[in-house]
A and B are shown apart, each in its own frame.
Chain A
Amino acid sequence: MRLLMMGGAVLLSACASLESEPLPEIGPAEYGFVTSVEVTSEPSGETRAERAAWGILSLNPVILATAVVAVEDDFGRSEVRLYTVELTDGTEALITSRYLADEGDCILIRRPVEGGNAVVVKQDDTTCDTAAAAVGN
């Protein structure tokens, strides 16, 4: 039984060393004004069950309880923002990002080619005005 739980725990958290994914390929620069921001949350990839599985291996109820209880309130959740952006070419874009921008901000967007969170950089309003003028808007 203990061996089975150990196997499960190892499978649940196999990656121990710190590693980075390759830099994602991103699309061309797009500019636009943020028209709405919605804050959402999604599972972050770590669960209390995973910690409990490791705690059980210790066969010590105090360590088990500590492994599960001694974590932050928002443990296991990840905040992401859903932005609606009116691009300077007149189209609308829906993107997700953890970068912080407010409604009305002019932003630069670089969308990953293979999907995922966009790279967002806040800009001066004049940057969006110039980009709009360049495409005749």
Chain B
Amino acid sequence: MIKHLAASFWLALGAVTLAACATSATVSEADATEGISRDYDASYDVVKAAALQSVERLNVNLQGTDENDERFQIRFTKSISAFSWGEVGVVNVLPTDDGATVVVNTSKRSRTQITGTSEGRFAEEVFANIDESLAALQ
């Protein structure tokens, strides 16, 4: 009886823990406008290249890119560390009438975690890198 209770407890705990975890799909399948955004007056194709170079310069693991009619998307993860179970994120580039909008959407793998890199910190670094890339490319 006690063994069954213990097994049930561990199974329930496992289910709750798994449900509290974010994966790349959490952010890649979210609305492309979800996150912290900034508008750029450079062309969509140039901003895509700058956004890509921006993420490639970060100490994150770039998983890949894909594109549809709505946006160009860069998927990345940040590794586990002493302070965090890791983070997942996307940078979406959306074409606009005046150029492009870049949206940074990230999530901590463990949503109950207080430490780790915040979405605001990711966005700050990505936007700063894009500014540098655009200055070099234009």
Which A residues contact B (CB, under 8 angstroms)?
9-10, 13-24, 26, 44-46, 50-51, 54, 61-63, 65-67, 69-72, 74-79, 97-100, 110, 117, 119-123
> Is B129 in the interface zone, CB < 8 Å from A?
yes
Q: Which residue of A lies closest to B11 (CB)?
A: A62
Q: Kindly count the residue-residue contacts between A and B in the assembled complex, taking CB atoms under 8 Å apart.
A: 130
Contacts of B25 in A (CB 8 A): 72
A23→B57 contact, CB < 8 A? yes
Task: Number of B interface residues at 8 Å Cβ cutoff, please give it.
Answer: 51
Known A-B contacts A20-B57, A23-B133, A50-B79; A98 and B122 likewise in contact (beta carbons under 8 Å):
no
Q: Which 4 A-B pairs have the closest CB atoms?
A: A79-B64, A44-B61, A70-B21, A16-B81
A72→B90 CA distance, assembly (Å): 14
Contacts of A66 in B (CB 8 A): 14, 17-18, 21
> Is B58 in the interface zone, CB < 8 Å from A?
yes
Partner of B132, one of A23, A62, A98: A23
A15→B81 contact, CB < 8 A? yes
B125→A20 contact, CB < 8 A? yes
B86→A20 contact, CB < 8 A? no
Known A-B contacts A19-B58, A119-B49; A26 and B136 likewise in contact (beta carbons under 8 Å):
yes
> Is B66 in the interface zone, CB < 8 Å from A?
yes
Partner of A119, one of B53, B62, B80: B53
Q: Which residue of A lies closest to B50 (CB)?
A: A119
Known A-B contacts A46-B77, A120-B49; A98 and B23 likewise in contact (beta carbons under 8 Å):
no
B82→A63 contact, CB < 8 A? no
A62→B61 contact, CB < 8 A? no
> Is B117 in the interface zone, CB < 8 Å from A?
yes
A50→B80 contact, CB < 8 A? yes
